[in-house]
Amino acid sequence: MVEPIELYWKCGLANPHTSHCLGSGQIMISCMGDPSGNAKGGFVLLDGETFEVISNWEHQGEAAPFGYDFWYQPRHNVMISTEWGAPKALVNGFNPAHVQEGLYGSALNIWDWTTHKKLQRLDLGEEGAIPLEVRFLHEPSAAEGYVGCALNSTVFRFYKTAEGDWAAEKVISIPNKKVEGWMLPEMPGLITDILISLDDRYLYFSNWLHGDIRQYDITDRRNPQLVGQVFLGGSIVRDGPIRVLEDPENQEQPRPCIIKGKRIAGSPQMLQLSLDGRRLYTTTSLYSGWDKQFYPDMIREGSVMMQINVDTVDGGLALNEDFLVDFGKEPDGPVLAHELRYPGGDCTSDIWL
């Protein structure tokens, strides 16, 4: 176990998030803040055998303004990291005023993988506010990928330009729904997790507020096509307190999601895909402070894991109604399960050289 005090003393960091194994045998973990809860996007190196904290990966004074996820691509000598927000702002839930106060990020940070120097801060603007999960294509020679941006429910494609720097373009946008009975007059989808199938054909993401998972064919990298969608709970179920007044996509409010007699409290959040691409798994907890704000029933009942069957030929998603892992029934529960990992590697942790 890595104690918080080790991160403080040796690296001046706190709030660890994403981990990746390196070719050197070390483990690298991104962090979101400093010990006082201020935003700070730095990286910790651990010994791969003893798990001892070694040092920062970035040079002193070169941490990014915000931290969250990261992905590296050795063939292009690059690492890209994303930005959530200051831990002291997000710990107790989401306050829209904090966005205007500059406590949430909106950029991709581009790093030289060999020298560990920060090369570029690629600002995605208002439409790209709160960029969370970042995914390169799995093909190791590819110099492009996608990032899901939570606040305005957009997906940006990032790519290496002919000049050798990096650029981004918006390729997917999920419209807000006009609602009543909620904290704001419009509800975003709130894209919280994305992943790419191992064959680089499909992109998946979860809309944690609306309650759906979407599947896009990304054969044409600049023009993703929606080919699958399934609602599994969320904030706009038709028998809930929130009423949708206007939906640009003209979708009916979904029915509650009930699996094996249990009504799902919460919404699809973290995703993981089987290596053959046929089974998509999702858990429902985002972050305890946000869970408590948006899905208080999940705090009392615990989160769940669900499984979706995937049509890998023509596209399409269908809930497996015989599969449910209920973390509310844990011996010391209820608990809030979050990340999913396959033993031996999976779609969101493997990086090929």
For 118-164, how does the pLDDT look when each residue is reduced to its tens digit (9 = 90+)? Answer: 999 999 999 999 999 999 999 999 999 999 999 999 999 999 999 99
Confidence of residue 185 (pLDDT cuts 50, 70, 90): very high
Q: How far apart are CA 285 and CA 89, in angstroms?
A: 19
Average pLDDT of span 267-274: 97
- Indicate if the pLDDT at residue 343 is higher than 90: no
**CATH class of domain segment(s) 57-329:** mainly beta
Structure-block tokens of residue 306: 């669900």
- Indicate if the pLDDT at residue 192 is higher than 90: yes
Structure-block tokens of residue 229: 């969608």
Domain ranges of the chain: 57-329
**14 CB contacts (<8 Å, ≥6 apart)?**
4, 7, 8, 31, 32, 33, 34, 35, 37, 87
- Indicate if the pLDDT at residue 338 is higher than 90: yes
Query: 205-223: per-residue pLDDT in tens?
Result: 999 999 999 999 999 999 9
Query: 294-336: per-residue pLDDT in tens?
Result: 999 999 999 999 999 999 999 999 999 999 999 998 998 899 9
Kindly report the pTM of this predicted structure. 0.96
**Given the structure tokens 């959040």, which residue do they identify?**
269
Query: 37-95: per-residue pLDDT in tens?
Result: 999 999 999 999 999 999 999 999 999 999 999 999 999 999 999 999 999 999 999 99
Q: How far apart are CA 275 and CA 347, in angstroms?
A: 7
